[in-house]
A and B are shown apart, each in its own frame.
Chain A
Amino acid sequence: MSVQVPERLTETADPAGPVAAVASGNWRMTWRRLRRNRAALVAGAVFLFVVLACYPGAPLWAHLVAHRGPNVQNIQGTVSSGGHRLPVVRADGTPIGPGWRGQYLLGADANGRDLFVRVLYGGRTSLTVGLVSALVCTALALLLALPAGYFGGYVDRAVSRLLDLIWSFPVYLLAVALSASLVVGGLNVGPIHVGSSSLAIPIVVIAVVFVPYIARPVRGEVLALRNQEFVEAAIAHGAGPLRVMRQEILPNVFATTLVLFTLIVANNILVEAALSFLGVGVSVLTPSWGNIIEQGYSTIVTAPWQTIAPGIAIMITAVSLNVLGDGLRDALDPHGRLRGVIT
């Protein structure tokens, strides 16, 4: 459940240097290659479908078909199913199971909420956490990796040690410990106040923990790019470090970053689920795929769908992102030079 990037390979196994494959002009080529990769296209379509189902789809289904939102509880109510009126939640607490009907298509949860509606809305949370934390993670990684690779020396050593430190931490233990402490009291540092049930907590925790996974390979590339002729030339023409990094180096590490980004989104969705499952992720009242699994797990014997359905949603999303990332890599780097870098 983690993106694994053997960083040593970036420094050693590929003497040919960095992947400068995608200079700005090559996007059309890349797109043409991607179009030929049917698996990647299907994966892209599936991911798009998931996004559409969760963002515009969730309220549409909730209003037009299920007639109830994701947090509307109905413990004492009934629902008509196959011509009978059935209690949504039985006296022993067992919720109704799946059935061909608009309401409670996948059944209810213990609070009498519509499971299908919750899975759709849960997808919003999980995708948001996955995407935003991946963005934050990538941004942090670039902020660290660009100067480290560009300046080398002390900057590089400091950044590398920091990455080593995060890297040596048992990932889940770090994430869980950080979340547990933040979920208890929120975060109050100077002017920053983050409520204990804020989505920002899992987002930031996940982003920070996985920074090395992006920062290391990117740093390796920057390190190699630094000595390329076109970079030297830019410097010789009097461009400052910021300008060189932005105009010469960033476009050339973009390919790697994009592929890593795709993979890390999938990874982060899985991590969100894991943290929520351990009770230190998204706050209980907000549906997320991990939360729905966590809340359903205690009744898996009597109401298995509550556990199974969100897990399937997670897998579909993660598979589509991973296949898409794979295809992107092949398209961006047809000669396989990235292969050692990104598995």
Chain B
Amino acid sequence: MRSARFWLRRLAGLVLVLFLLSVIVFLIFNVIPGGDPAIRLAGRHPTPENIAAIRHDWGFNRPLWVQYGDMMNRLFVKHDLISYQDQTKVLPTIGRGIPRTLSLAVGAAVIWLFFGVLFGVISGLTAGRWPDRVLTVVSMAGISTPIFWLGAVLLYLLTFQWHSSPLFSWLPAGGYVNLTDDPGQWAAHLVLPWICLSVVSIGFYSRVVRSSLLHTQSADYVRTARAMGLSRGRVLLRHTLRTSLIPLTSLFALDFGAAIGGTVILIEPVFGINGIGQYAQQSVAHLDLPPLMALTLYGGFFIVIVNALADAVFTFLDPRIVVE
């Protein structure tokens, strides 16, 4: 196991990265011309006194670093960060979005892991023959898909154009239903978003598993095992797949972190899931700094944490690996 010092350093690194992220976001949104929130808060017939009062009440006239400190205080200590756009509290909105985004990302992750590994194994075992070729085309297409576009086209075709077909009539045209309210509808609403969020990763994983299989199949210990009379299937499971788990874990950490922390911004708006991604997209559009700040830190936190977890899993899978 690792020393306390290692984990402490890791933690310090995490805090530093998140701090820098927050500073960057804060600066990006404080240099925007026309992004003056006081004017926006003043409504449609603002008077100069009104704007001055708002500027004072909200503290927009204070030095930037004081404003930054206040925002961090409201975010982490007082938990009452408020949106400039509609003056609702940011944290409860994020709290409501998290189950939606997690439903989307976890479901998609299960799908892409399953199909990615399945396609990769088939591809690797039949390398050079037609199943491999077909799956190669499929995974290449997957990697090359603009996912928001896929979502838009699937929604159009399945829930509008071919909606009357009994095959697709059960598919809702976007939206979200809580898992606890109705598991069936929850899944029905998420099927298309899951597919869209997973196609790219399915493509990548099947490529990774395939090359990993080919790579290790020629490795000495696998040859030895085969020579000792172990069946191909056993060798595959015992040695080869286990080895491919390492690049897979690493990929998965990146992908899952990226999905939850960012890629959902492309999927949620298309399907109206109203989770973290859609909130982020709206906040960017409104140049609404407080929710963006919270969401960036949330996303960054996820990415860093998931990757740290992956490192831990690494050492468990293959003790020879020493990270850093």
Contact = CB atoms under 8 A, between A and B. Distances in A.
Contacts of B136: 39
B214 A323 contact: no
B300 A168 contact: yes
A323 B17 contact: no
Contacts of B269: 278
B190 to A, nearest CB: 19
A148 to B, nearest CB: 15
Interface residues of A, number: 54
Contact of A184 (B21, B32, B150, B262): B32
Contacts of A110: none
B311 to A, nearest CB: 8
Given A184-B34, A343-B204, A6 B251 contact: yes
B141 A319 contact: yes
Interface stretch (B38-46, B47-55, B64-72, B291-299): B291-299
Contact of B292 (A164, A177, A277): A177
A98 to B, nearest CB: 15
Given A172-B266, A336-B211, A177 B147 contact: no
B301 to A, nearest CB: 9
B215 interface: yes
Interface in B103-131: none
A277 B21 CA distance: 25
B33 interface: yes
Contacts of B299: 169-170, 173
Contact of B147 (A1, A176, A184, A339): A1
A319 B303 CA distance: 28
Nearest to B253: A6
A277 B147 CA distance: 11
B254 A319 contact: no
B152 A12 contact: no
Given A273-B146, A307-B153, A339-B211, 20 more contacts: A1-B146, A1-B200, A1-B266, A2-B258, A4-B204, A12-B323, A168-B18, A171-B262, A172-B263, A176-B280, A176-B284, A185-B34, A274-B146, A274-B148, A277-B149, A293-B152, A304-B156, A315-B146, A319-B140, A343-B208
Interface string A221-244: 000000000000000000000000
A173 B266 contact: no
Contacts of B33: 184-185
B285 A279 contact: yes
Interface of B: 13, 17-18, 20-21, 24-25, 28-29, 31-35, 136, 140-141, 143-150, 152-153, 156, 160-161, 200, 204, 207-208, 211-212, 214-215, 246-247, 250-251, 254-255, 258, 261-263, 265-266, 269, 280-281, 284-285, 287, 292, 295-296, 299-300, 303-304, 311, 314, 321-323
Given A319-B140, A319-B144, A173 B17 contact: no
9 contacts: A168-B17, A170-B303, A178-B28, A181-B31, A277-B149, A278-B284, A293-B149, A315-B141, A319-B140
B160 A301 contact: yes
B197 to A, nearest CB: 10
B300 A170 contact: yes
A172 B20 contact: no
Nearest to B259: A170
B201 to A, nearest CB: 9
A180 B287 contact: yes
Majority SS at the chain B contact face: helix
Given A1-B263, A293-B152, A308-B153, A278 B281 contact: yes
Majority SS at the chain A contact face: helix
7 tightest A-B CB contacts, nearest first = A170-B262, A318-B144, A170-B299, A170-B261, A185-B33, A6-B250, A311-B149
B287 to A, nearest CB: 6
B323 A8 contact: yes
B323 A343 contact: no
A14 B136 CA distance: 25
B134 to A, nearest CB: 12
A278 B35 CA distance: 19
A92 B127 CA distance: 54
A309 to B, nearest CB: 11
B284 A322 contact: no
Interface string A300-315: 1100100110010011
Nearest to B205: A343
Interface in A287-343: 293, 297, 300-301, 304, 307-308, 311, 314-315, 318-319, 321-323, 326, 336, 339-340, 343
Nearest to B144: A318
B247 A340 contact: yes
A165 interface: yes
B300 A9 contact: no
A247 to B, nearest CB: 31
B140 A339 contact: no
A1 B203 CA distance: 10
Contacts of A293: 146, 149, 152
B247 A9 contact: yes
Given A164-B17, A339-B215, A6 B247 contact: yes
Contact of A170 (B148, B247, B258): B258
B140 A173 contact: no
A117 interface: no
A48 interface: no
Pick the most buried of A177, A304, A307, A321: most chain B CB atoms within 10 A of its CB: A177
A25 B309 CA distance: 43
Contacts of A4: 204, 251, 254-255
A12 B322 contact: yes
Interface in A233-286: 266, 270, 273-274, 277-280
